[in-house]
A and B are shown apart, each in its own frame.
Chain A
């Protein structure tokens, strides 16, 4: 046990970042599960990274607003393409998302082939480190999350086609840079999966609780055990999702496999 790591100045911004990411990703995760397009977040994150790499290729300054614009523009373009394929070939949507993911990932490698700093760049874009977050960085992320939540609320969670993909693209582009792709994936899928069977309003409450407890537990344990925070939060999110299955309201909501029904 190491009590020095329990420093609110270090863990505080990380916890707030986690809550901001969860606020949009929990409701979006429900939609992702319902559509069985689990890997869409990896594809969008990779396309946003491709946008940043292309911006660098054409000489845009790598730390300014231009890069954010490039990432968002690329993610929105990818979202428009996915909205189109979803309408045109709905039965092939998941393999098309997978194909887009590998194309964006390898496209980045091809653009970076002559750039000695490329590998480092790509890693920074995708891995992220939740502890480097500062409150100043959280303000634009919080404003964007509020806008996106307002849109979700206004459409009463009934998003489909281009609005869904566009909203998703903006949420992922912002969150990947805060907490990295592993935590984005876990925040999106795990709380939504834990309460997948529940109906009505209560699922949202339980899913938010699972997510918030997962982040709080992960940050605290990572400080006490002296382990990297992001990786441990993924595990505590899964842990709280499993614990939630003890709640009768959660457990009874899951569909039962019809065992021995021959």
Chain B
């Protein structure tokens, strides 16, 4: 699907900061007249963003070590950041419908792995994750996945606020 590697880096805030640093440097190079402004803005963003990351990591402590099942393999960066384990995927090959053998195994895994949630992106149809939720008793959770994905994800800060609120809502 993505021969050059998984592009969904936006779900790891540490990588968002790397992007901001590279972007500010490139903008300053292209537009040297405003270089000072770019550097000031970067410093401001970095300070606010780093504080936010610390807050999120603290809030996310109950998620560490928990298992999730995903709709598509698009959550690698989020799970790596939060120390969550992905134990299965509803559609391991995007666009190809899963087979009944795969689904039978997945129901079993979801039930036995003390799974926290069945995660999908807000733009994905809920049919598949609701189907698995009904059969396994594990809640289905739709995460915004990008800015604008839900009402709370108005900007990058809101994206992670909303993602954590929704995941923590599944912790009992």
Q: Which residues of A contact B (CB under 8 A)?
A: 2, 4-7, 9-11, 63, 116-117, 120-121, 124, 127, 129, 131-132, 134, 219, 222-223, 226-231
Q: Are A4 and B123 in contact (CB under 8 A)?
A: no
Report the bound CA distance from A9 to B106 in whole Å: 13
Q: Using A129-B128, A134-B131 as known contacts, say yes or no to A117 and B123 having CB atoms under 8 A apart.
A: yes
Give the interface segment out of B28-36, B81-89, B96-104, B157-165: B96-104
List of B residues within 8 angstroms of A124 by Cβ: 125, 127
Nearest opposing residue in chain B for A5, CB measure: B101
Q: Are A226 and B127 in contact (CB under 8 A)?
A: no
Nearest opposing residue in chain A for B135, CB measure: A9
Q: Are B97 and A228 in contact (CB under 8 A)?
A: yes
Q: Which of B104, B126, B135 contacts A63 (CB 8 A)?
A: B126
Q: Are A129 and B97 in contact (CB under 8 A)?
A: yes
Nearest opposing residue in chain B for A220, CB measure: B100
Report the bound CA distance from A9 to B103 in whole Å: 11
Q: Which residues of B contact A (CB under 8 A)?
A: 96-105, 107, 123-128, 130-131, 134-135, 148
Q: Are A116 and B103 in contact (CB under 8 A)?
A: no
List of A residues within 8 angstroms of B105 by Cβ: 4
Q: Are A11 and B123 in contact (CB under 8 A)?
A: no
Report the bound CA distance from A163 to B127 in whole Å: 32
List of A residues within 8 angstroms of B130 by Cβ: 134
List of B residues within 8 angstroms of A228 by Cβ: 96-99
Q: Are B101 and A223 in contact (CB under 8 A)?
A: yes
List of A residues within 8 angstroms of B123 by Cβ: 116-117, 120
Nearest opposing residue in chain A for B95, CB measure: A123
Rounded to whole Å, the gap between the CB of B149 and the closest CB of chain A is 9
Report the bound CA distance from A117 to B100 in whole Å: 28
Q: Are B100 and A7 in contact (CB under 8 A)?
A: yes
List of B residues within 8 angstroms of A229 by Cβ: 97, 99-100
Q: Which of B96, B100, B134, B148 contacts A222 (CB 8 A)?
A: B100
Rounded to whole Å, the gap between the CB of B96 and the closest CB of chain A is 6
Rounded to whole Å, the gap between the CB of A91 and the closest CB of chain B is 40
Q: Are A132 and B128 in contact (CB under 8 A)?
A: yes
Q: Are B127 and A230 in contact (CB under 8 A)?
A: no
List of A residues within 8 angstroms of B124 by Cβ: 120
Report the bound CA distance from A226 to B99 in whole Å: 6
List of B residues within 8 angstroms of A231 by Cβ: 97
Q: Are B135 and A227 in contact (CB under 8 A)?
A: no
List of A residues within 8 angstroms of B131 by Cβ: 131-132, 134
Report the bound CA distance from A137 to B99 in whole Å: 20
Report the bound CA distance from A121 to B134 in whole Å: 23
Rounded to whole Å, the gap between the CB of A61 and the closest CB of chain B is 13
Report the bound CA distance from A129 to B104 in whole Å: 16
- A sample of 6 more A-B contacts (CB under 8 A), given A9-B135, A10-B100, A120-B124, is A5-B104, A7-B100, A11-B100, A117-B123, A131-B131, A228-B96
Nearest opposing residue in chain B for A13, CB measure: B131
Report the bound CA distance from A121 to B121 in whole Å: 13
Rounded to whole Å, the gap between the CB of A13 and the closest CB of chain B is 9
Report the bound CA distance from A129 to B124 in whole Å: 14
Rounded to whole Å, the gap between the CB of A117 and the closest CB of chain B is 4
Report the bound CA distance from A120 to B149 in whole Å: 14
Q: Using A63-B126, A120-B124 as known contacts, say yes or no to A7 and B97 having CB atoms under 8 A apart.
A: no
List of B residues within 8 angstroms of A6 by Cβ: 100
List of B residues within 8 angstroms of A7 by Cβ: 100, 103-104
List of A residues within 8 angstroms of B125 by Cβ: 120-121, 124
Nearest opposing residue in chain A for B91, CB measure: A129
List of A residues within 8 angstroms of B128 by Cβ: 129, 132
List of A residues within 8 angstroms of B126 by Cβ: 63
Rounded to whole Å, the gap between the CB of A14 and the closest CB of chain B is 8
Report the bound CA distance from A129 to B96 in whole Å: 10
Q: Using A63-B126, A116-B123, A124-B125 as known contacts, say yes or no to A226 and B101 having CB atoms under 8 A apart.
A: yes
Report the bound CA distance from A117 to B135 in whole Å: 28
Q: Using A5-B104, A9-B135 as known contacts, say yes or no to A227 and B99 having CB atoms under 8 A apart.
A: yes
